[in-house]
Amino acid sequence: MDREASPKADDDDNRLQIKQHRQQQRNKLHQAIASLRQEFGQKGSVFVSGLPPDTTLDEVVELFGKYGPLQQNTQHKRPRVKMYYDHDRFKGECTVFYDTVVSAAQAIELADGTTVRGHTIKVEEAIHRQKPATPQFGGQPSAAAPSAEFGKPKVALSYEEKLELERRKLSLKSTSLRIENMFRPLEFDRQLQEDIEADIVEECHRLGVDNVTVAFDGTAVTVATPTAHDATTVLNKFHDRWYDGLKLSVSRIAPTDKQD
């Protein structure tokens, strides 16, 4: 009997170890993506379900405020929490908005699967979907076009590939650019710096982008624009362009990489 039971016990142990390893990998990825989003100045939010039906707003704030500072509702001066009701009856679901994605990730890791007065709750990343386009002139919203990816098998991405994908998505929201190869370091002086800055400001103005900030770090130029759209406009105009016999290389940078 012992010899027959041993393989099953080994299988159970292996499955448990695999499950624990996958959970550790998910937690590691969530934390890494949270840090990456934090780097780009994003805020975070979590969706909570399974709460007792008599849960109050103050109780939610107390439960989830310990994982990090909550966003404040500017109109009512209270923590930003959205409670969901069905005909005046609380559905046991809410969205909690944090000041940082790191706090949201911590809430997911530590609060998911815990119990609140005998109810096991689920805490996950909140997904905010865009509202459908409003029909004009009395028409009906058009049906969404089928996805080009429909029917294609999903490809499992590695940890590094998922992080790189997230970085690329976030970089599109960056408002600052780094311009490489705009000057020769041996020729760089105060006069050249002023000339380059004046040229950048003038060219940005021609593109309809004003209020830019130009900084130098000795090897490259950083240009901070008012919006991500402005950054895209400048990047498309400057990248691979020739300046004083040098071919420019322009890329987006994270807010934490900006020059002081």
Is there a domain that residue 68 lies in?
yes
Q: Are residues 102 and 175 in the same domain?
A: no
Q: Is 0.95 surpassed by the pTM of this model?
A: no
pLDDT computed for residue 248 by the predictor: 92
- Res 142: pLDDT: 45
Do 119 and 175 fall into the same domain? no
Q: Which of 89, 110, 125 is the last residue of a domain?
A: 125
**Chosen domain end from 96, 125, 154:** 125
Q: How many domains are there within the chain?
A: 2
- pLDDT at position 180 over 50: yes
What's the rounded mean pLDDT across residues 206-213? Answer: 89
pLDDT at 31: 65
Task: For 34-54, write each residue's pLDDT tens digit.
Answer: 555 554 445 678 999 999 999
Residue 200 resides in a domain: yes
Do 112 and 179 have their domain in common? no
pLDDT tens profile 67-115: 888 988 877 778 999 999 988 899 999 999 988 877 888 888 889 999 9
Long-range contacts (CB closer than 8 Å, 24 or more residues apart) made by 106-115: 106/67, 106/68, 107/46, 107/64, 107/67, 107/68, 108/30, 108/46, 109/27, 109/30, 109/31, 110/67, 111/48, 111/63, 111/64, 111/67
The reply to whether 29 falls in a domain is no
CATH of the domain at 74: 3.30.70.330
- Domain-located, residue 35: no
Q: Does position 187 have pLDDT exceeding 70, yes or no?
A: yes
pLDDT, residue 127, reads 76
For position 179, what pLDDT does the model report? 93
Q: Which domain holds residue 87?
A: 45-125
On whether residue 77 sits in a domain, the answer given is yes
